Amino acid sequence: MSHTEVWIALVGMAVVTVITRALFLMAGEHITVPDRIQRALRYAPAAALAAIILPDLMTWQGHFTVAFSNYKLMAGVAATVFYLVTRKMVGMIVVGMAVYTALRLLGGVMLT
């Protein structure tokens, strides 16, 4: 790909991004979104987050695995359970990282 093609692609992506994000601002109050769609859009951030995080949690050392040897998955499960019980986001992050770190350290000790 030449430099010109790269710049054309970058400018094209920028234009598309600006148009799609600014469409609702440019339309103003002329377009009304139905209540059903507004309710559905409330779940978009959670769905996007799940789409980003779940594939990473479900793979371990480059392979799809749902097993106790998958430290990332076990840490994610522990963090999720903690959040469901306490509803504390920062605590969830701390628990997830602590479980992941402990499993990695214990796993390294068990292998040697």
Q: Note the pLDDT of residue 93.
A: 95
- Spatial distance between the Cα atoms of 95 and 107, rounded to a whole number of angstroms: 18
Inside any domain, residue 82: yes
The predicted structure's pLDDT at residue 112: 45
| Residue whose structure tokens are 């951030």 | 45
pTM for this one?
0.61
Measured CA to CA, the distance from residue 20 to residue 100 in angstroms comes to 39
Q: Which domain holds residue 96?
A: 55-111
Q: Does some domain include residue 17?
A: no
Domain assignment present for residue 13? The answer is no
Say how many domains are in the chain.
1
Residue 101 lies in a domain: yes
Local structure of 65: helix, strand or coil? coil
Q: For the chain, where are the alpha helices, taking DSSP H only?
A: 3-27, 35-41, 44-57, 71-86, 89-111
Query: What is the mean pLDDT, run by run of 10 residues, along the chain of 112 residues?
Result: 93 91 76 86 88 89 86 94 96 96 83 47
Is 59 a domain residue? Answer: yes
Q: What is the pLDDT of residue 78?
A: 96
In a domain, 3, yes or no: no
Residue 67 lies in a domain: yes
Residue 79, in any domain of the structure: yes
